[in-house]
Amino acid sequence: MVFCEVCGFGYAEDEKEDVIDHNIYHQNFLMLQEKYGADYIMKSKVEEAIKLTGHNLHNADYPLAIRLSGAKLCLKSWFSRSAISYGSEHPSFEEYVAMRLKQNIDQLPNLLPFTDDILEHLISQYGLKEGMDQHCYSYYQN
């Protein structure tokens, strides 16, 4: 098993299907990083580190601004995973967050692990938008 230094995809070099899967993932990763930037499209190990930092910040007894920045880190990591999985037609970060917030209210109450004050601030910044599949936590559906 090898891991691509650019996109982070793990695959067996001697397995044709793995190589094909890597090539598709790699091209998608690069295209999305160019479209959204490296702050929004990350290797999975980076996504996990960002998500952990975000959880630690938004769950701690910090002022609202710090907890809100932690929530946004979590949302960035989820956005990255969703965009890489969905591809070039994925909505922007702002649209994605609005969809996640709407999904949290309508379809899957308490899906997002944020306190009410954080949710209120996120809704005031990003709004609410239809578009997230009710059975999917990360993937945009059109």
* pLDDT tens track for 87-96: 888 899 999 9
Pairs from 77-80 (Cβ < 8 Å, separation ≥ 24): 77/42, 77/47, 77/48, 77/50, 77/51, 78/51, 78/137, 78/138, 79/40, 80/40, 80/41, 80/42, 80/47
Tens-digit pLDDT profile for residues 11-44: 999 999 999 999 999 999 999 999 999 999 999 8
pLDDT classification of 85: cutoffs 50, 70, 90: confident
pLDDT classification of 142: cutoffs 50, 70, 90: very low
What pLDDT is attached to residue 141? 46
pTM for the model stands at: 0.87
- 116 has pLDDT over 50: yes
pLDDT classification of 133: cutoffs 50, 70, 90: low
What pLDDT is attached to residue 28? 93
86 vs 120: CA distance, rounded Å = 28
Closest CA to 100 of 68, 118, 123: 123
117 vs 123: CA distance, rounded Å = 10
What pLDDT is attached to residue 130? 87
